[in-house]
């Protein structure tokens, strides 16, 4: 029994969902349009303002895809109505970030700056305020894409447990280690 997969998806006003041949789901809303191919072992049923994802059989693959595609469709609906945002913070002495359009330039303590091109679907904003760690704001209607880009940027310098330096998500707590003790 998939609790997530069985939960109905409420469709807000202003959002249209179209299911075409081959289980291609198109979600249109005030912020844009997203498409997703749904697994063949699942079917989608619309009933007065809600959508329910049903599986055809009780095979392991169908069960595992049930909750996944329900979450993906729900994220698409949230994306076209509200959008998705992620914020990254740079913690470390001399760590800087700047952007020109969708080109992000990072100085992370290496001997060279890192240049990263963010996809056109993602809106990028690098902010440096005095007394605050530099921040990178990512915003898009596609939650998967925002998460993937944020994870890629975080991978350039993951937070380390001894001093806490690195790139982390806003509000992320890093478990700190003690380090050497003088004996």
Asked whether residue 89 falls in the same domain as residue 77, the answer is no
The pLDDT-based confidence of 105 (bands split at 50, 70, 90) is: very high
> Of 17, 47, 81, which closes a domain?
81
Residue 19 belongs to what domain range?
A: 3-81
The answer to whether residues 19 and 27 touch, using CB atoms and an 8 Å cutoff, is no
Question: What is the tens place of the pLDDT at every residue in 18-65?
Answer: 988 888 999 999 999 999 999 888 888 988 889 999 988 888 888 889
Find the CATH number of the domain harbouring 64.
3.90.930.12
How high is the pLDDT of residue 118?
94
Phi, psi values for residue 129, rounded to 5°? -115, 145
Asked whether residue 99 falls in the same domain as residue 115, the answer is yes
Whether residue 146 is contained in a domain is answered as: yes
The angle, 0 to 180 degrees and rounded to 10, between the axes of the packed helices 143-154 and 60-81 is 90
Asked whether residue 71 falls in the same domain as residue 106, the answer is no
How high is the pLDDT of residue 182?
65
How high is the pLDDT of residue 183?
59
Query: Domain tally for the chain?
Result: 2
Out of 86-95, 122-131, 173-182, least confident range:
173-182
Asked whether residue 49 falls in the same domain as residue 97, the answer is no
Whether residue 182 is contained in a domain is answered as: no
Interatomic CA distance for residues 122 and 116, integer angstroms? 13
Structure tokens at 62: 């169908």
Asked whether residue 103 falls in the same domain as residue 149, the answer is yes
Asked whether residue 112 falls in the same domain as residue 47, the answer is no
Residue 140 DSSP label:
E
Question: What is the tens place of the pLDDT at every residue in 161-180?
Answer: 999 999 999 999 999 998 88
Q: What is the mean pLDDT of the chain?
A: 91
Asked whether residue 118 falls in the same domain as residue 160, the answer is yes
- Are β-strands 84-91 and 123-127 bridged in parallel, bridged antiparallel, or unpaired? unpaired
């Amino acid at each position: 029994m998939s609790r997530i997969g069985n939960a109905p998806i409420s469709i807000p006003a202003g959002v249209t969902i179209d299911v075409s041949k081959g289980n291609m789901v198109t979600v249109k809303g005030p912020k844009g349009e997203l498409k997703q191919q749904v697994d063949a072992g699942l079917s989608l049923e619309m009933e007065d303002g809600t959508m329910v994802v049903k599986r055809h059989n009780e095979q392991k693959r169908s069960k595992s895809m049930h909750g996944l595609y329900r979450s993906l469709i729900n994220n698409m609906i949230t994306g076209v109505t509200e959008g998705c945002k992620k914020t990254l913070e740079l913690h470390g002495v001399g760590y800087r970030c700047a952007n020109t359009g969708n080109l992000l330039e990072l100085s992370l303590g290496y001997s060279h700056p890192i240049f990263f091109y963010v996809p056109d679907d993602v809106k990028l904003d690098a902010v440096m305020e005095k007394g605050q760690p530099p921040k990178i704001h990512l915003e898009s209607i596609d939650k998967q894409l925002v998460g993937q880009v944020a994870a890629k940027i975080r991978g350039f310098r993951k937070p380390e447990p001894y001093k806490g330096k690195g790139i982390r998500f806003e509000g992320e707590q890093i478990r700190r280690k003690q380090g050497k003790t003088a004996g």
